[in-house]
Amino acid sequence: MSKVLIPLANGFEDVEAITVVDVLRRGGVEVVTASVGDEVSVLSAHGVEVKADALFGAVAEGDFDAIVLPGGGEGTENLRQCAPLVQRLRRQHDEGRLICAICAAPLVLVDAGVADAGLQMTCYPSMMMELDRPYTNVPVVEDGTLITGQAPGSAMLFALVVLKALRGEAVARKVARGMVSDVLG
């Protein structure tokens, strides 16, 4: 079974985090949400309190097939400030494992040095100048072991592309059909 870590910071974008958790779990992926703060309770950008599965420090050393970062302005800034997360992302990169980020969160990947300069990426349009690398103005970009998504509106497609990378196209299409979603075409 594939295993995914989703770090949550206060101010995370609700739909980007919850959609990914939902889609991946429907697809048979073990998902661990981890608060990068001092408490398992995390407050979303829109005031929804979510109880993470664990504190980041308690699970950071585990083996994960993918790490997925939800965006949100404040959430991304809080992820950027989390030195243990930056270290864990570098380990994930060094191991050649999947790293995914949506909205403003691709900036965390750039800060951590895990988004190689030649890779194509997307992000929230107002963040593209901060990427300081090639930017593609599309909902989702998959390049090597990096998957990036543009915004809350692309959260479903982003989640399904991550699922496809982990479990294959047949599983991703089955989940999409079950959710009556045609985003995979």
d(CA 174, CA 16): 21
- Spatial CA neighbour of 19 closest among 160, 169, 130: 160
Tokens of 174: 């089955």
Tokens of 121: 């990426």
Catalytic residue among 82, 100, 103, 123: 103
Q: What are phi and psi of 168, to 5 degrees?
A: 100, 160
CB contact burial 43-65 (16+ within 10 A = b; e otherwise)? bbbeeeebebbeebeebbeeebb
* Token pair 């309190």: residue: 49
Asked if 103 is an active-site residue, the reply is: yes
Cα torsion 36, 59, 153, 102 to 10°: value is 80
State the amino acid at position 179 in one-letter form: M
Q: What are phi and psi of 100, to 5 degrees?
A: -135, 145
Report the catalytic residues. Answer: 103
